[in-house]
Amino acid sequence: MVAMLEKRKIRDFDWLLALLAVLIVGFGTLQIHNAQPTETFWQKQLMGLGIALVAMIAVSFTDYRKLVHIAPAFYIFGLALLVIVLIPGIGMKINGQRCWIKLPALGQFQPSEFVKIPVVLMLAYYFGKPRQGNLTVKETLIGSLILLLPVGLIMLEPDTGQAITYFPLLAVVLFLSSVRMWIVLAALLLCMAGAPLAYTVGVKTGVLRGYKLERINVILDPENADRRGFGYHTWQSIVTVGKGGLTGSQSTDYSQSSLKFLPEPHTDFIFAVTAEHTGFIGCLLLLLAYAILFSRLITGARRSPDRTGMIVIMAVVGGLAFQLFINIGMAVGMLPVIGVPLPLMSAGLSSVLATFIAIGFAISIQLRRFVN
Amino acid sequence: MKFEDDSQNLRIRLRLIQGLILMMLAVLGIRLYYLQVLNGAHYAEVAENQRIRLLPIPAPRGVIFDRNNNLLVDSRPIYNVILSREDIKNVDLNSLIKPLSDGLQVDEDFLRERFDEIRSQPAFESIRVKENATQSDIAWVEAHELEFPALRVEQQPQRRYPENGMLAHVLGYVGEISPEQLDQPKYKQAGYKPGDIIGQEGLEAVYDQYLRGRDGYRKVIVDSRGHIQSEVERVEPQSGQDLVTTIDLDLQEAAEEQLRSTPSKRGVIIAMDPNNGEIFAMASAPTFDPNLFSQRINTREGRADYLALQRDPRTPLVNRAIQGRYPPGSTWKVPMAVAGLQQGAITIQHSNLLCGGGIQIGNKFTRCMGNHGTPDLKTAITKSCDGYFYRLGLKMTIGGIEQMVDEFDLNKRTGIDLPHEVVSWTPSPAFKARMNPHDPDWRDIDTVYASFGQVYDIITPMAMLRAVAGVGMGGKLYVPHLLREARAVGDPASPDYRPTRAFDRPNPKVIPIPEDQHQLVVQGMWGVVNNGGTAARIKMAGFEIAGKTGTAQVARLGEDVGEHKDHSWFISYAPAFKPEISVLVLVENVGFGATYAAPAARALYDVYYRKTRNEEPPGAQVAMRQ
């Protein structure tokens, strides 16, 4: 019985999904090397990939239902981590943000990356039961509470970028929990109409000014914005991406990153480095890989044995897709600079590990699609 | 779907999410197409421009020699502190003033001025914050690399002139090109750019095109902080052409020494080769230190020194040889004598005119310094008889004097290769009308004044020397000049080759003086030194000087009025009948020409004699010393 199960598990294991994730990380490692050939970030990333693979396989072969069942425990543990990181002496302060915990062997890790998983599990725990009828106000409030506790703690670090990436988790869950379509449409319309309105009113009333205004202006008109001040990052990223052309430039000697024109090339702006070195073709292939990855995950969600599994996978998809769009949108000058890593590409053990664990859940859910 | 659910249209909602994600990816793809494929070339250029920097390598300026290859001016390397413009575009320059002023000990006002200037010139590559940086300045810049990454130290050649101000008026000086100059087409077309060090005065200015080298450059790759990563290309500078002047350092030093020894310490000495116009020496006192302009003009002290020079009533910045106008006194009698004979007012046979101890015109008696009876021309020159020349002038009439002025080019610039030469003021009814509007009519008394080198005759020393030397040459007036040659630089095969350039000497102006008339005038001038004339005390046996003394009235002739004593003149050449060298001495406000000017000229002849004859000068008489 056990042997049969194991055999079936290996047969049903989503090799494509795992392979795709590993390939993207491998490609990312290459770009990290391009970004900082003299640094050891790319070696650390390979180590991180090894650790992450082990974690992913471990999660895959664990029954996700058992894990969701004890979600509140994970959730409370996650909140505890977010509190601990705020304690001076344990939490490391980098660039004014206290968001790292130093570990003796592994180096440092970022709780806000991992806590997304307990949050997803907690949401699945609450919203995963078979449901009747439309989303209620009570459900919405409880969902919001689940989300806002960690988000509030993260804002204390403060790490706005990470905090923002939590919202799509709830948005996707609510969307899939029968929130009325007209509310969704109304919210969308409000956003689309509200943004330009808010900008105009903000400029007119003087609420939006100084560097905040500059960061938005550089998106609207990068060629004429303050390219050396607050628009610097966006402008340099646009130049770096554009410079790549169709096929990219292979030389790393005088690249934008090695001459330090492009800031944070191995983390936040890894996509710009990729664009510089592999050109439009490389970028398109990368986007295609992500498209396949997401499609594969959504397919998994559709086939999941229960509503809980579907919620887990879709929340993961929402979180990753949102991060991807924020990060690349920033790199190509469509969105303001927000410090969010590009999933699977940016250097950083926490990010890779958290993403692989999330994918591990997706695989675990798929493995049990015939078991009921 | 494995589970039944009442959630509204779950399948559709999943599809919607998937569609939304694919749509976002597509939007990113379109944006990438726009940036990379449509505008890739543009951004590649932007990236290239921000990492490539052209750093000029200043070319060494040509060296200036005297005629015997003695060094007069050269350059030595100094260090400047530069603020690289590229890196500070977003920095408020005013915020840099205080720390830079403190750290580098520069005047705050100077920095403010410099930054203002830079703002109006968008093309500036970099700003020179401090010139002539000391070792401690360089150390300060290195220590504050993180704080002020835009600062760097650059080597530059700096001009070095003789310390004691020798030849300052001739050599001139270099300085940074001014914004006003940059606006002039003359400089624009020559390819000057902001920050260039160019010749501003003297030979430095006139021959800037020769002296100037061609700057080289380094094309380097810099990182975002302006630190040089590597060199892509290097074009070496080509140094400027060395200038060989006509100056003879020994004569020049003697001339400066003589002027320094006079009581007033003000005056001019010019020594010239009458055979071609080459200037052996040109000293104007008081002088100034041109190093002020090439080295210290941007310091507070330097600018104070400059202001003091400008305000000094002794006008040290003026080159008296070509910018000073003086009544020539009796030296005026030399061209008068030639013109009187030419115009037939007197003849060789009948050149006697009454001295009369002076002349009575109307109710005014203008006296002569002595009573010379009825001298002939030769005696009148030798004894410097004013009464004779009053009457000669009246015979020539003002028209004759004007003709003489024109013939001897006394109303024109000599054409010497120095900037800012002025034109002399010469007698004419029109000049009087302008000078004295209350009594505009030309009268006989005016002709008398015009004929003995006063009132209406206000001539530059250079023009006077050229005229008198021309008489010595039998009527050939050469254009005085200071350039012998600009030496070739570069490989003759290369397009950068700059060939040797000599002074482009115009043909001499020829005044037709019959030989017998020439002889007569020269005998008179010979007598001044050699036959008991006014400068008899400087006689050199075997090296016969011909000359004419002059005492130019400043206040009232012959009276000791302190500051306003007469100017003392001596214009001469030697040997009298085969001229090799002509010497003019003018000492301001010291009295009789014979007392100060003639002995100073003798000192130059002594030096010349020693150099050319290799023996001690005959009848050596120590020149007048204080």
Fold of the B252-484+511-613 domain: Beta-lactamase (3.40.710)
pLDDT band for position B463 (50/70/90)?
A: very high
Number of domains in chain A: 1
Q: How far is the C-alpha of B403 from the C-alpha of B396, rounded, in Å? A: 10
pLDDT band for position A341 (50/70/90)?
A: very high
Closest-CA distance of chain A to residue B218, Å: 17
pLDDT of B122 higher than 60: no
Among A227, A277, A332, the residue to mutate for chain B (most B Cβ within 10 A): A332
Q: Are residues B179 and B255 in contact, defined by beta-carbon separation less than 8 angstroms?
A: no
pLDDT band for position B605 (50/70/90)?
A: very high
- ipTM for the predicted complex comes to 0.93
> Mean pLDDT of all residues in chain A?
87
- Looking at residue A123, its pLDDT comes to 94
Which chain A residues touch B12 with a CB distance below 8 Å?
A: none
Please name the member of A130, A226, A238 whose beta carbon is closest to the beta carbon of B3. Answer: A130
pLDDT band for position B8 (50/70/90)?
A: low
Q: How far is the C-alpha of B5 from the C-alpha of A301, rounded, in Å? A: 14
Q: Indicate yes or no: CB of A280 within 8 angstroms of CB of B41.
A: no
Q: What percent of chain A has pLDDT over 70?
A: 93
Q: Indicate yes or no: CB of B36 within 8 angstroms of CB of A241.
A: yes
Pairing outcome for strands B197-201 and B173-176: antiparallel
Q: Indicate yes or no: CB of B2 within 8 angstroms of CB of A176.
A: no
CB under 8 A, 24+ apart: contacts of A46-50: A47/A349, A48/A348, A48/A349, A48/A352, A48/A353, A49/A22, A49/A25, A49/A352
- What pLDDT, in 10s, does the model give residues B13-34? 899 999 999 999 999 999 999 9
Q: How far is the C-alpha of A297 from the C-alpha of A24, rounded, in Å? A: 15
Chain A residue nearest residue B4, CA to CA: A130
B296: tokens are 């210290």
Q: How far is the C-alpha of A150 from the C-alpha of A154, rounded, in Å? A: 6
pLDDT band for position B557 (50/70/90)?
A: very low
Q: Indicate yes or no: CB of B224 within 8 angstroms of CB of A177.
A: no
What's the pTM? 0.69
Q: How far is the C-alpha of B170 from the C-alpha of B538, rounded, in Å? A: 28
pLDDT band for position A293 (50/70/90)?
A: very high
Chain A residue nearest residue B90, CA to CA: A228
Q: Indicate yes or no: CB of B5 within 8 angstroms of CB of A290.
A: no
- What pLDDT, in 10s, does the model give residues A272-292? 999 999 999 999 999 999 999
Residues spanned by the domain of A316 = 22-177+209-367
Which chain A residues touch B29 with a CB distance below 8 Å?
A: 283-284, 287
Chain B residue nearest residue A288, CA to CA: B25
Mean pLDDT of B397-417: 90
- Looking at residue A228, its pLDDT comes to 65
Q: Indicate yes or no: CB of A302 within 8 angstroms of CB of B14.
A: yes
pLDDT of A2 higher than 70: no
Mean pLDDT of B55-76: 90
SS (H, E, C) B162-192: CCCCCCHHHHCEEEECCHHHHHCHHHHHCCC
Closest-CA distance of chain B to residue A261, Å: 5
Residue of B460, B453, B625, B445 whose CA lies nearest to B550: B453
Q: Indicate yes or no: CB of B7 within 8 angstroms of CB of A131.
A: yes
Q: Indicate yes or no: CB of A302 within 8 angstroms of CB of B1.
A: yes
The residue length of chain A stands at: 372
Please name the member of A178, A261, A302 whose beta carbon is closest to the beta carbon of B50. Answer: A261
Residue of A8, A24, A79 whose CA lies nearest to A356: A24
Angle between helices A71-84 and A116-127 (to 10 degrees): 150
- What pLDDT, in 10s, does the model give residues A3-41? 555 666 777 788 899 999 999 999 999 999 988 888 889
Query: Angle at CA A100, nearest 5°, toward A99 and A102?
Result: 160
Please name the member of B4, B43, B223 whose beta carbon is closest to the beta carbon of A242. Answer: B43
Q: What percent of chain A has pLDDT over 90?
A: 48
pLDDT of B625 higher than 50: no
Q: Indicate yes or no: CB of A229 within 8 angstroms of CB of B90.
A: yes
Please name the member of B5, B7, B51 whose beta carbon is closest to the beta carbon of A259. Answer: B51
- Looking at residue B558, its pLDDT comes to 46
- What pLDDT, in 10s, does the model give residues B211-224? 998 888 888 888 77
Chain A residue nearest residue B28, CA to CA: A329
Domain range B53-245, its CATH number among 3.30.70.270, 3.90.1310.10, 1.25.40.10, 3.30.2320.50: 3.90.1310.10
pLDDT of B243 higher than 80: yes
Query: Is the residue at A143 inside a domain?
Result: yes
Mean pLDDT of B98-121: 77
> Mean pLDDT of all residues in chain B?
85
- What pLDDT, in 10s, does the model give residues B145-191? 777 877 888 888 888 999 889 999 999 999 888 888 888 888 878 77
Query: Angle at CA A21, nearest 5°, toward A162 and B18?
Result: 70
- Looking at residue A309, its pLDDT comes to 92
- Looking at residue B566, its pLDDT comes to 84
Lowest mean pLDDT among A92-101, A260-269, B343-352, B552-561: B552-561
Q: Indicate yes or no: CB of A226 within 8 angstroms of CB of B90.
A: yes
Chain B residue nearest residue A260, CA to CA: B224
- Looking at residue B421, its pLDDT comes to 92
Q: What percent of chain B has pLDDT over 90?
A: 32
pLDDT band for position B483 (50/70/90)?
A: very high
pLDDT band for position B622 (50/70/90)?
A: very low
> By three-state DSSP, how is residue A137 classified?
helix
Chain B residue nearest residue A297, CA to CA: B18
Q: Where on the phi/psi map is residue A2: left (φ > 0), alpha (ψ -120 to 50), or beta?
A: alpha
- What pLDDT, in 10s, does the model give residues A315-338? 999 999 999 999 999 999 998 888
Chain A residue nearest residue B7, CA to CA: A178
Among A132, A227, A252, A254, the residue to mutate for chain B (most B Cβ within 10 A): A254
Chain B residue nearest residue A242, CA to CA: B36
Residue the block writes with tokens 């790490």: A159
B28: tokens are 């990113």
- What pLDDT, in 10s, does the model give residues A220-276? 777 776 666 677 888 889 999 999 999 888 776 678 887 888 888 888 999 999 999
> By three-state DSSP, how is residue A278 classified?
helix
Q: Are residues A24 and A325 in contact, defined by beta-carbon separation less than 8 angstroms?
A: no
Mean pLDDT of B36-45: 91
Closest-CA distance of chain B to residue A57, Å: 24
User: Taking the CA of residue A174 as centre, how many other CA atoms within 13 Å lie in the half-sphere pointing to its CB?
Assistant: 22
User: Taking the CA of residue A146 as centre, how many other CA atoms within 13 Å lie in the half-sphere pointing to its CB?
Assistant: 29
Among A136, A139, A259, the residue to mutate for chain B (most B Cβ within 10 A): A259
Q: How far is the C-alpha of A243 from the C-alpha of A235, rounded, in Å? A: 12
- Looking at residue B279, its pLDDT comes to 95
Which chain B residues touch A238 with a CB distance below 8 Å?
A: 35, 43
pLDDT band for position B267 (50/70/90)?
A: very high
Q: Indicate yes or no: CB of B6 within 8 angstroms of CB of A131.
A: yes
> By three-state DSSP, how is residue B485 classified?
strand
pLDDT band for position B623 (50/70/90)?
A: very low
Q: Which helix (H) or strand (E) holds B115?
A: helix B108-119
Which chain A residues touch B87 with a CB distance below 8 Å?
A: none
Closest-CA distance of chain B to residue A248, Å: 9
- What pLDDT, in 10s, does the model give residues B126-138? 777 887 788 888 8
Chain B residue nearest residue A236, CA to CA: B47
Closest-CA distance of chain A to residue B53, Å: 13
Q: Indicate yes or no: CB of A307 within 8 angstroms of CB of B5.
A: yes
User: Taking the CA of residue B322 as centre, how many other CA atoms within 13 Å lie in the half-sphere pointing to its CB?
Assistant: 18
Q: Indicate yes or no: CB of A287 within 8 angstroms of CB of B28.
A: yes
Please name the member of A243, A284, A318 whose beta carbon is closest to the beta carbon of B40. Answer: A243
